[in-house]
Amino acid sequence: MTTSKKGLARRLDRVWLAALIAGLAIGAAHAAPAREQGPYVRLQIAAKPVQAALIDFALQSNLSLGGDLEACRGFAPALFGRMSQKAALDRILTQSGCGFALADPRTILILKVTPQRASRAVVEAATVLGLGEVVVTAQRYPNLPGRTPYAISVISGTTLQREAFTSLADLSAQVAGMTVTNLGPGRDKILLRGLSDGAFTGQTQSMVALYLDDVPITYSAPDPDLRLADIERVEVMRGPQGTLYGGGSLGGVVRTATRKPDLDRYQANALAGLGHTWGGGRGDELEAMANLPLLPGRAALRVVVYRDSQSGYIANPALRLRRVNSSKRDGLRASLRASISTHWSATLGLTHQSINNDDTQYGFRRLGSHLRDNPVREPHDNDFDHVSLSLTGDGAWGRVSGSVSRLSHHFDSRYDATSASALYGLAGASAALDEAKAIDLSVAEVTYATPADRRLHGLVGAFASTGDIRLSSALHPVMGSATNAYAERRRDKINETAVYGELTWDLSRRLSATAGLRWFDFRFETDSTVSQAIGQRQFSSAADATGLSPKALVSYDARPGLLLYAQAAEGYRPGGFNTAGRVGQVFDAPGAPARRYSADELWNYEVGAKLRAWNDRLQGRVAVFYATWESVQSDQYLTDGTAFTANVGNGDNRGIEAEAAIRLTDQIDLRAAVLLNDPQITRQNPDFSSRSDAGLPGVSRASASFGVDYHHDLAGDRTIRLQSQATYVGASYLTFDADRRHEMGEYLGLRGVVSLEAARWSLSATLDNPLGANGNSFSFGNPFLITREQIITPPRPRSVALRLTARF
C-alpha cells in the first residue's frame, strides 16, 4: 500500500471513530423522545388513486405492502408533512372500501372490508399471515414486483441485515439465475439468466448494468463490490433493458437503493463483527451510521462509514507464505437530502470505497485446491469514488426525476507472467504484468412519468454521458532491469446520448399493452501506443453508432392474484477496437483478432405468470424465455497473455426460471428459486475456437436454491431466529471450446444464521460452508495460465462469524 493510501486509511479510521462517537451520543440524547413518538413518517404524496397512493406510502415509509390493493376504489387525498403511519393509512383508505392490518411491524396488508365496517380502516384480525412486498422503482416508477409484468426480484434491507449479506455476490444464493464469478473482491463479474459473454472482464461494456440509486456505477469494469451497508433494498431485473437503460444491460439490471436521510429523526447504528475461516485466520467488520436532521423537516444528513477484512486461505509454498489472499475494504457514504417544497426534494450523494487484496484466490489442481506455487504475488487495489445530485418532483401532474453524477473507478492488478516471459525475451525470468485502469464517467438523465390513473400513461426520458477510460499495462522482470519488455497506453473517449419512452394503454381493467423505444447515438475514439524494445505500434481511430432499441409487452390480470404477461425486448452494446498484442501482432487475418469488433444485439422473448394465493401467504412467479444473440462480444486472451475482444458468433438461450415464497405458519417462511436453461453458440466464428454444444462460459444449465426462516418470540421484545439456505450450482466451462481442463461448478453451498433480536440490538452467528465443500467455483487464475495450468478457485472454507448490532 502506498503512503497516500495509508494516509487515506488513517483518515477513514478517524472519520469512522468520530461518526461512531457522534452516533452514540446522538442516539443516547434522543432515545427517549424517539420511543414516545412511535412510528411517524414524513410523506410527500399527491392526490391520486388509492392503489397508487398506498404504493407511494409504502415506498416512503420503507414498509412492505400486500393484500387486496385492487379492491380499493376512489382517490386518496394529498398527504404532505409528518404524521403517524396509522393516521396516513386512515386518510388514504377512507371511503375506499378497504382496511389494513399489520402482518408484522414492517408489513402492511390491505384487506377488503364489508360496508358495515367501511368507515373503520383498521381491520382487527386475530392472525394475519400474509407476505408483503417491497416496492421497487427499477422501471422508473414505483410498483410492487408481484404486480408488475417483468421478471424482477427484490431483496429487502431487513433481509440483508438478518442474513449478514454484505456484497452483491451474496445475493446469488437467493436470486434465480444470478451468477457471480469468484475471482476476488472487486474483481467479479455479474451474469443473469444464463447470458454470458465469457468469464473475463476487458474492454467490452458490462453485460449487466449496475446502479446505485438512480445513477450507473460501472461501464467496462467488474462489480466494484460496494458493501451493502444501510441499504433499503436491492432490485434485480432480468433480460435486456435497452429501452430504459441503454447499452450494457443485455443481461439485466441490478439496482442498489440506499436508505435516504430522515428529515425528522436522529438515528444511529453501530455494528461490530468477528469471524474465523478454517485453514485461514481472523476477519472483522465495523460499520456505523448516523442520521442528523440539520433543519428538522427540511434537511438532513446521513453518513455511513465501514471497514472489513477477510482472512486469506490460499498458501504459496514456493514463497513460504500462508493466507496470501487476505483482503481489506473500507468506505464512506454520505447523503444530504433537502425538502425544497411540498412537491420537490433534492439529494446530494457521495460514495468512496477502497479495496486492497494482497493476492488472488486460486490454486493449482496438481498441488491441491488451496495451494499454488507462483513466483510472483498478484495484488489488486480498487478505488471507487462517486458523487451525484438528484432532483425529484411528484404532483397531480405526474412524477419528474433528474440526476447528474460523476464516477471515478480506478483499479490496479498484477499478474504473474513468468510462464510467458520467454515470449517477451526475458529468458525465463520471473515476470509480472501490471495493469492500471481508470474509468471516469459523467452522466445526466431526466425522466417524466405521467399520472398512473389515466388510461393512457407512460414515461419519457433523456440520457447523456461522456467518459474517459485509460488503460496502462506493462510487462517487466520482477528483479533486475527496470525496462519494460512490453507496454501499452490506451485511451478511450466515449460519448452517448439517447431519448426514450414507454407508453401503456389500459385496454380494459384487466388487459394492457405497452410499447417502448429508445434512440441512441454512441461515439467513441481510441488511441493506443504499444512499446517494446524492437519498436512501437501506434493506433488511432474513431467510430459512431446510431440505432433504436424497442420493447413490446402485453399483460393480463386473469383473476385477483394471477397476472399473465408476454414481452419482447432488445438490448445492445456498441463495438470497439482491439489494440493489445506484441508489436508484430497481426490483425484482420485468419485466426487473428479483428482490429474492429462489431456491436452485438440480443432479443429476448418471454411469457410469464405471477401468483398470489392463500391470502397472500403464497407468492410465486415463473417465466419461460427464449433469447437470440447476434455477434456475441467476448473478452479473450492471446497465447502471449494480452487481451482482445472477439465476436465469437451467434448464440441463443432458452429456459425456465421460477421463484416462490410461502408463509407456512406464523413462525416459518420458505423460499425457493430455480433456473433451467440451455445457453449455446448457434453459429460459430471460423476465426475463433468454439463448440456449438459447449454452452456459454461461466454459466451452468441448472442452478437452484432453497431457504428456511424460523422465528420464535421470547419474553419482552426479544425474538430468536434460525435461518438456513442451500444453493446448487451446476457444471460449466471457462471457455467457449468446453475444454474439460477448465470445467467448474457442480457443487452445493450451505449457510446458516442464528440470531437473537430486540428492538435496540441484535446478536447473530453465521456459519458458511459447514461441510467444508471444496468444489471449483471458477477456473480462471490469470491470463498467462489458461493453457498452462488447471486452475481451481475453491469456495471460502468453513467460516464462522459473530456480529453485534446496536440501534439508537
Task: Say whether 570 sits in a helix, a strand or coil.
Answer: strand
CA atoms within 13 A on the CB side of 491: 7
Residue at 622: amino acid letter: V
The whole-number pLDDT of residue 95 equals 87
C-alpha angle 683-687-691 in degrees, rounded to nearest 5:
45
Contact, 428 vs 27, CB < 8 A? no
Burial of 105 (0-12, 13-18, 19+ CB in 10 A): exposed
- Phi then psi for 781, rounded to 5 degrees? -115, -65
The three cell numbers locating residue 245: 437503460
Q: 96: Cβ–Cβ under 8 A, 6 or more apart, which residues?
A: 50, 72, 73, 74, 76
- Residues with Cβ within 8 Å of residue 640, at least 6 apart in sequence: 420, 423, 424, 581, 582
Q: Kindly list the distances between the CA atom of residue 615 and the CA atoms of 97, 112, 426, in Å, as whole numbers in the listed order.
A: 18, 12, 71
Query: Measured between alpha carbons, how far is 280 from 261 in angstroms, rounded to an integer?
Result: 39
pLDDT at 719: 96
Q: pLDDT by residue (tens digit) across 202-245?
A: 889 999 999 999 999 999 899 999 999 999 999 999 999 999 99
Predicted local confidence at residue 123, as pLDDT:
54
Task: Kindly state the helix (H) or strand (E) to which residue 211 belongs, with its residue range.
Answer: strand 208-212
| pLDDT at residue 781 tops 90 | no
Contact 764, 751 (CB under 8 A): no
Whether residue 403 contacts residue 392, with contact meaning beta carbons closer than 8 Å, is answered with no
Q: With a cut of 80, say whether residue 9 has pLDDT above it.
A: no
| Confidence band for 341, pLDDT divided at 50, 70 and 90 | very high
Segment (H or E) for 476:
strand 456-477
CA angle at 749 for the pair 746 and 752, rounded to the nearest 5°: 170
Q: How does pLDDT run across 741-758, given as a tens digit for each residue?
A: 788 989 999 999 999 999
- The pLDDT of 629-656, averaged and rounded, is 93
Architecture, CATH, for domain 3-123+136-153: 3-Layer(bab) Sandwich (3.55)
| 162-807 to CATH, choices 2.40.170.20, 3.40.50.10490, 3.30.360.10, 2.60.40.3670 | 2.40.170.20
C-alpha of 540 from chain center: 35
| Amino acid letter, residue 269 | N
| Backbone φ, ψ for residue 797 (5° rounding) | -60, 175
pLDDT at 4 exceeding the cut of 90: no
Give the pLDDT of residue 118: 47
The three cell numbers of residue 295 are 433543519
Neighbours of 759 (CB within 10 A): 12
Which pLDDT does position 692 carry in this prediction? 64
Q: Are strands 743-757 and 719-733 parallel, antiparallel or unpaired?
A: antiparallel
d(CA 735, CA 743): 9
Residue 441 has pLDDT above 70, yes or no: yes
Residues 6 or more apart in contact with residue 467 via CB below 8 angstroms = 219, 439, 440, 441, 442, 492, 493, 494, 495
pLDDT at 124 over 90: no
Please provide the distance, in angstroms rounded to a whole number, between the alpha carbons at the two ends of the chain: 36
pLDDT of 33: 42
Calculate mean pLDDT across residues 159-172. 94
Kindly indicate the confidence band of residue 531, based on its pLDDT and cuts at 50, 70 and 90. Answer: very high
437 HSE (CA, 13 A, CB side): 21
Tens digits of residue pLDDT in 455-510: 999 999 999 999 999 999 999 999 877 789 999 999 999 999 999 999 999 999 99
| pLDDT tens-digit map of 696-733 | 888 999 999 999 999 999 998 899 999 999 999 999 98
34 pLDDT above the threshold of 50: no
State what percent of residues in the chain have pLDDT above 70.
92
Under a CB-based contact definition with an 8 Å cutoff, are residues 184 and 361 in contact? yes
Residue 37 above 60 pLDDT? no
- Is residue 352's pLDDT more than 50? yes
115 pLDDT band (50/70/90 cuts)? low
Q: pLDDT (tens digit, 9 = 90+) per residue, 533-562? A: 899 999 999 999 999 999 999 999 999 899
Q: For residue 666, what are the CA distances in angstroms to 130, 361, 561, 663, 753?
A: 9, 42, 21, 7, 19
* Band of pLDDT at residue 261, cut at 50, 70 and 90: very high
Mean pLDDT of the residues in the chain: 91
Give the count of alpha carbons within 13 A of 241, CB side only. 25
3-state secondary structure 110-169: EEECCHHHCCCCECCCCCCCCCCEECECCCCCCECHHHCCCCEEEEEHHHHHHCCCCCHH
Largest CA distance in the chain: 92
Instruction: With a cut of 90, say whether residue 695 has pLDDT above it.
Output: no
Residue boundaries of the structural domains of the chain? 3-123+136-153, 162-807
Report d(CA 224, CA 189) in Å as an integer: 9
Q: Quick one: 736 exposed, middle or buried, by C-beta within 10 A (0-12, 13-18, 19+)?
A: buried
Q: What is the DSSP letter of 216?
A: E
- Residue 636's nearest CA partner among 783, 776, 788, 448 is 783
Q: Cα separation of 211 and 221, whole Å?
A: 13
Q: What is the pLDDT of residue 718?
A: 95
C-alpha of 322 from chain center? 32
Compute the average pLDDT of residues 255-282.
96
Q: At residue 418, what is the residue type?
A: T
Q: Which of 754, 730, 731 is nearest to 743 (CA)?
A: 731
Q: Which three cell numbers stand for residue 541?
A: 481511430
Tell me the three cell numbers of residue 505.
394503454
Other Cβ atoms closer than 10 A to 724: 16
DSSP 8-state symbol, 691: -
User: Side-chain half-sphere of 577: how many Cα atoms within 13 Å?
Assistant: 19
pLDDT score of 10: 54
Q: Say which range, 30-39, 60-69, 230-239, 405-414, has the weakest mean pLDDT.
A: 30-39
Cα gap 387→392, rounded to integer Å: 17
pLDDT category of residue 595 using cuts at 50, 70 and 90: very high
In this structure, what C-alpha cell is assigned to residue 77?
387525498
The pLDDT of residue 86: 92
CB 192 within 8 A of CB 209: no
The alpha-helical segments, DSSP class H, found in 239-308 are: 242-245
Asked if 3-123+136-153 and 162-807 have one fold, the answer is no
530, β-bridge pairs = 488, 537
